Amino acid sequence: MSQLHKTLNSDDCYRALIARDSRFDGVFFVAVKSTRIYCRPVCTVKSPMQRNCTFYPSAAICESNGYRPCLRCRPELAPGHAPVDSRTRLAGQALRLIDDLANSDLANSDLGSLAKVAQLLGVTPRHLRRVFEGELGVSPMQYILTQRLLAAKLMLTDTNMPVTEIALASGFASVRRFNDAFVEHYKLNPSRLRKEARPGWRNELKTDARPNIIACQLSYRPPYDWESMLSYLRARGSALVERVSDDGKYLRTVAIGDSKGYLVVEQTRDSKGQIKPNALTLSMSASLGPVFMQVVTRIKRLFDLQANPLVIADALGELAAERPGLRVPGAFDSFEIGVRAILGQQVSVKAATSLAGRLAERFGERIQTPYADIYLATPDPRVLACADVDEISALGIMPTRARAIKVFATAYGELDLAPGADYKTTVAALTALPGIGEWTAEYIAMRCLAWPDAFMHGDLGIKKALGISTKKALIEVAQQYKPWRAYATMHLWKSLEIK
Burial grade of 51 (CB within 10 A; 0-12, 13-18, 19 or more): exposed
Question: Considering 77, 94, 126, which residue would you say is the last residue of a domain?
Answer: 77
Q: What is the pLDDT of residues 63-90, one digit of tens each?
A: 888 899 888 887 866 654 333 345 555 6
Q: Is 39 a catalytic residue?
A: yes
Q: Of 195, 211, 230, which residue constitutes the final position of a domain?
A: 195
Candidate list 13, 39, 216, 448, residue with the active-site label = 39
Query: Alpha carbon 123 to chain centroid distance?
Result: 26
**Residues 120 and 49 occupy one common structural domain:** no
Question: What CATH number does the domain containing 53 carry?
Answer: 3.40.10.10
Known catalytic residue: 180? Answer: no
Number of domains present in the structure of the chain: 2
pLDDT at 341 (0 to 100)? 96
What's the pLDDT score for residue 206? Answer: 45
pLDDT, residue 3, reads: 43
Residue 400 lies in a domain: no
SS3 250: strand
| Pair (35, 16) in one structural domain | yes
CA distances for 429 relative to 139, 259, 421, 436, angstroms: 33, 30, 12, 10
Name beta bridge partners: 133: none
Task: Tell me which DSSP letter residue 230 carries.
Answer: H
Catalytic residue among 21, 105, 225, 459: 459
Q: For 188-321, list the strands marked E by DSSP.
A: 213-219, 242-244, 250-256, 259-269, 275-285
User: Residue 10 falls within a domain, yes or no?
Assistant: yes
E strand or H helix that includes residue 447: helix 438-449
At 378 the pLDDT is 95
Same domain, yes or no: 177 and 154? yes
Residue 14, domain extent? 3-77
The CA-based angle 207-276-16, given to 5 degrees, is: 135
Rounded Cα distance, 154 and 148, in Å: 10
Give residue 392's pLDDT. Answer: 97
90 and 172, same domain (yes or no): yes
Examine the fold and report which residue of 163, 195, 227 is the final residue of a domain before the chain moves on.
195
What's 115's domain CATH number? 1.10.10.60
Co-location of 9 and 100 in the same domain: no
With respect to residue 373, please indicate whether it lies within any of the assigned structural domains.
Answer: no
Q: Does one domain contain both 124 and 91?
A: yes
Whether residues 90 and 173 share a domain: the answer is yes
Q: Let me know whether 58 and 142 are in one domain.
A: no
Domain membership of residue 267 (yes or no) is no
Low-confidence residues in the chain, pLDDT < 50: 1-7, 80-85, 102-111, 201-202, 204-208, 499
